[in-house]
Amino acid sequence: MKKDSKFIPFALPDIGDEEIQAVVKSMKSGWLTTGPVTKKFEAEFAKFISVDECLAVSSATAGLHLALQAINLQKNDTVLIPVNTFVATAEVVRYFDAHPVFIDIDFDTMNISIDYLTAYLENNDTSNIKAIIPVHIAGQACDMDEILKLAKKYNLFVIEDAAHAFPCKYKNQMIGSLQSDFTVYSFYATKTITTGEGGMLVARNKKHLSLIKKLRLHGISREIWDRYTSNKAHWHYDVDVLGYKYNLSDLCSSIGREQLKKANHFFNKRNSIAQKYNQAFKHLDIILPQQKREDDQHAWHLYLIRTKNRDQILKFLKEKGIGTSLHFIPLHLMTYYQELYHHKEDDFTIAMKSFSQLISLPIYTKMSDENIDYVISSLIEACSL
């Protein structure tokens, strides 16, 4: 088949003049690192998701790392995570020489399976288990009520990996405003809003929040903005914990503030694309993503389909000039974790079945109607072969 001349990338950030001018304004201000713009971004994001306070960080990976540091994760502790997630969810656990325990997924949602999670907790020694990290895959909220019940029963922390989940709702509540101990968002270039690189962390416990505020900037007792703008003895600070360089700059935050203003518009566009896809594909022999509960709000960060002839369709779409991806290669297949834990492929049967059928289609706000129609017609053609 001759390759089509057009190319539709898998994802593109939607950056306008507003973001560009905001960055220019920040640069002209003379304050480039974490400062007043970041503080405004934190406050505006907190208001958007209906929480009192949140902290901007350099990435979602950094946010997850800081959350685990705040709960004092120790060597040989374990953290329960879905096997179907990006590698960052597991790697932050290994930073502590602790162990991510992979849990199989629910086939319909591709989120962590409550049944498998419950079975693991009921049939294993839980004395070293410290936390659960549920991941809201593609922007579909996990079954948080059940996860929180299990966490309470076994005295575990809950750290929501919300890298895909903005703006996402679980039973009409914004992800980030639930009773979890932490929620961590990503603003990577492909996410629903972006700062290029960056993330946001929510913590319910004020002591955790205060600790993370220090940890994200070398453990220094006063923030840079305070030290350089205060009329008091601004030169003095202390370090009483070992910290990291995980702060977000005002340059990035200036982009984030403008993106946040557009968040609902962006969501409406992605939701519209998802509904067009659902309508166009409903008669095809493929499994479509669906919102799990009527009172949820799927963020539609990703549009994931499952099909029996996955590789053939991927090849066809590539030849048609359509960018696709896979979310995700199950972590137990990765060489590092294979060598460390000696998992077999069939240890996680649901994740493997899902992965063997999985395709991620483009769903981003800069897609034109022509782009959307082309993806639709191409997939229909691919499924007819």
Which residues participate in catalysis according to the annotation? 191
State the Cα–Cα distance between residues 340 and 323, nearest whole angstrom: 33
Nearest to 140 by CA among 115, 114, 112, 111: 111
| β-pair type (169-170, 173-174) | antiparallel
Looking at 168-233, which runs of residues are DSSP E strands?
169-170, 173-174, 182-186, 199-203
Supply 151's token pair: 């966490």
Task: Say which residue the tokens 């137990």 belong to.
Answer: 332
- Phi, psi (rounded to 5 degrees) for 46: -60, -45
State the Cα–Cα distance between residues 3 and 11, nearest whole angstrom: 20
State the Cα–Cα distance between residues 12 and 15, nearest whole angstrom: 9
In this structure, are residues 63 and 70 in contact, taking their beta carbons and an 8 Å threshold?
no
In this structure, are residues 183 and 194 in contact, taking their beta carbons and an 8 Å threshold?
no
Q: Find the helix or strand (DSSP H, E) in which 102 lies.
A: strand 99-103
Nearest to 341 by CA among 327, 330, 325: 330
Residues 6+ apart with CB under 8 A from 88: 60, 61, 64, 163
State the Cα–Cα distance between residues 334 and 322, nearest whole angstrom: 27
CA distances (Å), origin 91, targets 51, 72, 184, 188:
28, 16, 15, 17
- Phi, psi (rounded to 5 degrees) for 325: -150, 180
Q: For the chain, give the longest Cα–Cα distance.
A: 73
Q: Does residue 23 sit in helix, strand or coil?
A: helix
State the Cα–Cα distance between residues 149 and 179, nearest whole angstrom: 10
State the Cα–Cα distance between residues 335 and 85, nearest whole angstrom: 15
State the Cα–Cα distance between residues 7 and 251, nearest whole angstrom: 31
Q: Does residue 64 sit in helix, strand or coil?
A: helix
